[in-house]
Chain A
Amino acid sequence: MAIDLKEKLVSSFMAFENKVNVDDPVHEIRLGAIKNFESRGFPTSKEEAWKYTSLRKLQKTNFSVFPKKSKTLEYKEVKKYFLHEIDTYKIVFVDGVYSSYLSETTHDGVDVCLMSSALSKAMYRQLIDLYFNKVASKEEQMTSLNTAFSREGAYIYIPRNKAPLKPIEIIHFATGTEASLMLQPRNLIIAEENAELQIIESHVSLTDNEILTNAVTEIFAAENAIVDFYKVQNDRHSSSLIDNTYIAQKSKSTVRVHTFSFGGKLTRNNLNFYQEGSHIDSTLKGVTIIGEKQHVDHHTLVHHQQPDSESHQDYKGIYGEKSTGVFNGKIIVDEIAQKTNAFQQNNNILISDKATINTKPQLEIFADDVKCSHGCTIGQLDDDAMFYLQSRGIPKKEATALLMYAFTDDVMSSVRIPELKNRINNLIAEKLGVKMGFDL
């Protein structure tokens, strides 16, 4: 009989306390978080937010919380997982442990380094006090669980008027040294006034051993800052990901998050934007293409707390075989947030009778002078367009792929790193089973 995962995690916390400095002020936060998790447990499908995604099966798996063995990876083994066409900063973790050998960090004007050093070194103390666990939820169970075990992850600090020379890649490798492993990376990204940066994050399992990642990322964008965040979720079907992202934006800042969900057994994205100023631009976009028994759940929240801001959401999903897609987009406009312009769109294509899509676009509006709209469709490819392409000699499979690619174009066209776009195009082609470049 396998031990209950919640019990196991709660009891592991004591072992975890031996590994970290318990006199640290951060440890108070961890203690509060484990208490919250202990009293509330894993979310159940009875909760509205988890109505369509069940974690029951995962809780029955006997995940190792701390990997016992470690393994080093050769760069050439894993080169293909990096965006090697261009030069990037790299923060790489292997089974949750930082790999200095594969990484390329910097302290040259900007800090692209590790959460563990930010949490332990005195020079970062002030910023950690100011930002750590400030925007992340203190109520949500999975976030609390991550906070309790927060120790390692990426720490990125871009001071005023600075921008790193190249994009930053964050990659989490799982080598399969454990039969099943749970990882809980914790990232903190701070962009001061006028700062600008681009981040690409991915999770890669190298074997079919089971992986559960429960990640939390906090992003702070000060005035005029621009943050571009790309999440590439193309892991093996043995891995599950619960990705919690919390973003606090100040006036005139721009934060764009693109999520590409192609892989994984169960993927849950909790993406939360809190607009704390005016003239803010928030963009949330995603492409989901899944099949087999995959499950992808996008939960978004945009909370407009001040007047004159904008938000754009655009999620496209293509669901085949026995896959399940969930979209729950929530927009809250506070009483004082007049002149808000909130736009939300969710389009879905079902290509199998066994696939399911559950979507719930939700508006909660308390201000009267706003423009808020949401649109949601579930449909098929246009027969006329198919006929048009086929009549011009394009085989059915390729024609279908072309139309599906066109369907995702609203999202793809705003990817600002050409090499990344190319990479994702190839992933889409692979997912749709065609050999095409789409760079027509």
Chain B
Amino acid sequence: MAYTEEELKKELETKEYEYGFYTDIESDTLPKGLNEDIVIAISKKKNEPGWMTAWRLQAFQAWKEMEEPEWANVQYKKPDFQDISYYSAPNKKPKYNSLDEVDPELLETFEKLGISIEEQKKLAGVAVDIVMDSVSVATTFKETLAEKGIIFCSISEAIQEHPELVKKYLGTVVPQKDNFYAALNSAVFSDGSFCYIPKGVRCPMELSTYFRINQAGTGQFERTLVIADEGSYVSYLEGCTAPSRDENQLHAAVVELIALDNAEIKYSTVQNWFPGDKDGHGGVYNFVTKRGLCEKNAKISWTQVETGSAITWKYPSCVLKGDNSIGEFYSIAVTNNYQQADTGTKMIHLGKNTKSTIISKGISAGKSQNSYRGLVQVHSRADNARNFSQCDSLLMGNKCGAHTFPYIEAKNKSAQIEHEATTSKIGEDQIFYCNQRGIDTEKAIALIVNGFSKEVLNKLPMEFAVEAQKLLEISLEGSVG
């Protein structure tokens, strides 16, 4: 069968979001709008101590003064922040110890997603902290982790039970006033994950959180804080799917990673929120601030597969503060139809002998716009800093766009920085080569796209590979085998 790029394009356009469904769960929702009372109400609902309420209010004050950023290469109707409900929690609390207690409707939801908890439990020791509309409802393997002294819980739980750690680290990497969306998140964050790995402990399993947006008109404001104490190691997975909905949903998460001396954090994300239909209606607005801080000899590695969201605005960054620290960023961003993505990374070299690697692969199809925006900054005291960046774009059709905005700032003479970028399409000769060897065009395209993104896919942990594969299939079905 002759399968042409035209046909592939057509198929991509008509491909509907497979995982679009809506679970009917009663929820406890605050009225729409944002003011001091709402911030206090959120804090109260979560039974937070006074310092936390004060911290939120401080962020809210800062947010009021700030303006929504406009520099990103994306166009969208700005969300009305007074038309959003800032808190909703699934009604059936309290927490469960076993699956039998979990709301069967919820379990069904996960089954539809193909990530049922049963399966998860069996799968290679993945502990899952499922976030369903902002509040954790099920946590597994907690006991196993507790034995090693690892704390893995929701951030609201951490505020209650480990206030000293939260107080010490929250907002140290992404300050409340960092940017518009980070300030908003700091004021109203509903829940998220908290993870602490004690000194010298190597976390025996991949920690994983599945995020879901489920309530109509509910903004999702996740706050994640991962602390790897000296000499520890953790691999953290984050994956998201959202139900199909017409109205735009706002998501402004903040993720803070802290890698103390000799620690290593590997943070992998698969993002597949509703991208809007093929006419560009609906879809999630994803404005995320992710940043990690590396102390001496520490390493932070970000891997992301971005296939969803109508608008993505996301720059996972590394502050290489300690000497000999390492930052890595591996990304695949796929945009289709009317999706717009402005994503990339920041590598801030402060310490001596710091190293960073950036590999970014952008695939644009349909009428989408895909931008890479990165910053590599070498400060004057960062002797022997080393950076390698590569950003490749693959264009499918001539109605989409690929853009690169790499900023490189060097203030040290011993810095070695390389940046490369290419833009190309799937070559006819490449397809011909495959055809010649008996591989049909569909498989050939799959092979080429796979090869194009392989450097990044390889970085995903085994447990996550299946999910990543699934998500890529939705965005570029027929091209990924």
Contacts of B470 in A (CB 8 A): none
A residues 355-398 with Cβ under 8 Å of B? Answer: 355-380
B401–A365 contact, CB under 8 A? yes
Contacts of A373 in B (CB 8 A): 420-423
A residues 338-365 with Cβ under 8 Å of B? Answer: 338, 348, 350-365
Is residue B405 contacting chain A, with contact meaning CB distance below 8 A? yes
With A351-B413, A378-B417, A380-B413: A362-B398 Cβ-Cβ less than 8 Å: no
B408–A358 contact, CB under 8 A? yes
Q: Is the interface of B mostly helix, strand, loop or mixed?
A: strand
Contacts of B416 in A (CB 8 A): 377-380
B residues 391-432 with Cβ under 8 Å of A? Answer: 393, 395-425
With A372-B422, A376-B417, A380-B416: A365-B408 Cβ-Cβ less than 8 Å: no
Cβ contact of B398, chosen from A350, A351, A366, cutoff 8 A: A366
Question: A366–B409 Cα gap in the complex (Å)?
Answer: 27
- Closest chain A residue, CB of each to CB of B411: A356
A356–B410 contact, CB under 8 A? yes
A357–B410 contact, CB under 8 A? yes
Proximity bits, B418-459, A CB within 8 Å = 1, else 0: 111111110000000000000000000000000000000000
A368–B398 contact, CB under 8 A? yes
B409–A357 contact, CB under 8 A? yes
A358–B407 contact, CB under 8 A? yes
Question: A348–B423 Cα gap in the complex (Å)?
Answer: 23
Question: A375–B413 Cα gap in the complex (Å)?
Answer: 19
Minimum CB–CB distance for B408 against chain A, Å: 5
Contacts of B421 in A (CB 8 A): 361, 363, 372-375
Is residue B76 contacting chain A, with contact meaning CB distance below 8 A? no
B residues 74-128 with Cβ under 8 Å of A? Answer: none
A360–B423 contact, CB under 8 A? no
Cβ contact of B395, chosen from A354, A368, A374, cutoff 8 A: A368
B423–A369 contact, CB under 8 A? no
B405–A360 contact, CB under 8 A? yes
Is residue B71 contacting chain A, with contact meaning CB distance below 8 A? yes
B422–A353 contact, CB under 8 A? no
A377–B417 contact, CB under 8 A? yes
Is residue A48 contacting chain B, with contact meaning CB distance below 8 A? yes
Interface residues on A, range: 35 or more
Cβ contact of A358, chosen from B71, B396, B409, B425, cutoff 8 A: B409
Cβ contact of A363, chosen from B400, B404, B410, B411, cutoff 8 A: B404
- Closest chain A residue, CB of each to CB of B418: A377
Minimum CB–CB distance for A257 against chain B, Å: 23
- Closest chain A residue, CB of each to CB of B424: A371
Question: A376–B420 Cα gap in the complex (Å)?
Answer: 6
With A358-B407, A373-B420, A373-B421: A363-B413 Cβ-Cβ less than 8 Å: no
B405–A352 contact, CB under 8 A? no
Contacts of A377 in B (CB 8 A): 416-419
With A354-B380, A372-B422, A373-B423: A378-B410 Cβ-Cβ less than 8 Å: yes
With A351-B413, A357-B410: A335-B399 Cβ-Cβ less than 8 Å: yes
Minimum CB–CB distance for B427 against chain A, Å: 9
B402–A380 contact, CB under 8 A? no
Question: A335–B421 Cα gap in the complex (Å)?
Answer: 19
B398–A338 contact, CB under 8 A? yes
Contacts of B404 in A (CB 8 A): 361-363, 374
Cβ contact of B423, chosen from A354, A355, A363, cutoff 8 A: A363
A361–B406 contact, CB under 8 A? yes
With A350-B415, A366-B398: A356-B420 Cβ-Cβ less than 8 Å: no
Contacts of B406 in A (CB 8 A): 360-362, 376
A335–B413 contact, CB under 8 A? no
Contacts of A354 in B (CB 8 A): 380, 411
Question: A362–B424 Cα gap in the complex (Å)?
Answer: 15
B412–A367 contact, CB under 8 A? no
Contacts of B378 in A (CB 8 A): 378
Question: A184–B424 Cα gap in the complex (Å)?
Answer: 42
With A350-B410, A352-B413: A368-B419 Cβ-Cβ less than 8 Å: no
Question: A375–B478 Cα gap in the complex (Å)?
Answer: 33
A356–B409 contact, CB under 8 A? yes
- Closest chain B residue, CB of each to CB of A379: B416
- Closest chain A residue, CB of each to CB of B392: A373
Contacts of A363 in B (CB 8 A): 393, 402-404, 421, 423
- Closest chain A residue, CB of each to CB of B422: A373
Contacts of A348 in B (CB 8 A): 410
Minimum CB–CB distance for A168 against chain B, Å: 37
A368–B425 contact, CB under 8 A? yes
Contacts of A366 in B (CB 8 A): 398, 400-401
Minimum CB–CB distance for B406 against chain A, Å: 6
Contacts of B405 in A (CB 8 A): 360, 362
A353–B413 contact, CB under 8 A? yes
Minimum CB–CB distance for B97 against chain A, Å: 54
A370–B423 contact, CB under 8 A? yes
Proximity bits, A45-68, B CB within 8 Å = 1, else 0: 000100000000000000000000
- Closest chain A residue, CB of each to CB of B413: A350
Contacts of A380 in B (CB 8 A): 413-414, 416
B419–A365 contact, CB under 8 A? no
- Closest chain A residue, CB of each to CB of B423: A372
Minimum CB–CB distance for A435 against chain B, Å: 25
Contacts of A353 in B (CB 8 A): 380, 411-413
Minimum CB–CB distance for B340 against chain A, Å: 14
B423–A350 contact, CB under 8 A? no
Question: Which of the listed residues A356, A359, A368, A375 has the most CB atoms from chain B within 10 Å of its own CB?
Answer: A368
Question: A371–B414 Cα gap in the complex (Å)?
Answer: 32
B403–A364 contact, CB under 8 A? yes
Contacts of A352 in B (CB 8 A): 413
- Closest chain A residue, CB of each to CB of B408: A359
Question: A366–B403 Cα gap in the complex (Å)?
Answer: 9
Question: Which of the listed residues B398, B424, B425 has the most CB atoms from chain A within 10 Å of its own CB?
Answer: B398
- Closest chain A residue, CB of each to CB of B405: A362
Question: A359–B423 Cα gap in the complex (Å)?
Answer: 19
Contacts of B423 in A (CB 8 A): 363, 365, 370-373
Contacts of A376 in B (CB 8 A): 406, 408, 417-420
B residues 222-263 with Cβ under 8 Å of A? Answer: none
Contacts of B425 in A (CB 8 A): 368-370
- Closest chain B residue, CB of each to CB of A328: B407
A379–B417 contact, CB under 8 A? yes
Contacts of B414 in A (CB 8 A): 380
Question: A368–B411 Cα gap in the complex (Å)?
Answer: 36
B419–A48 contact, CB under 8 A? no
Contacts of B71 in A (CB 8 A): 48
B residues 313-356 with Cβ under 8 Å of A? Answer: none
A364–B401 contact, CB under 8 A? yes
Question: A302–B421 Cα gap in the complex (Å)?
Answer: 17
With A356-B410, A358-B408: A365-B403 Cβ-Cβ less than 8 Å: yes
Minimum CB–CB distance for B380 against chain A, Å: 6
Proximity bits, A227-268, B CB within 8 Å = 1, else 0: 000000000000000000000000000000000000000000
- Closest chain B residue, CB of each to CB of A373: B422
Minimum CB–CB distance for A311 against chain B, Å: 14
**Residues of A near any B CB (own CB < 8 A):** 48, 335-336, 338, 348, 350-380
Given A377-B419, A378-B378, 7 more pairs with CB closer than 8 A: A353-B380, A356-B409, A361-B404, A362-B403, A363-B404, A375-B419, A380-B416
Report, nearest first, the 6 A-B pairs whose CB atoms are least far apart. A368-B395, A378-B417, A376-B419, A350-B413, A372-B423, A368-B425
Q: List 9 A-B contacts (CB under 8 A).
A: A362-B404, A363-B393, A363-B402, A365-B393, A368-B397, A369-B425, A371-B423, A374-B421, A378-B416
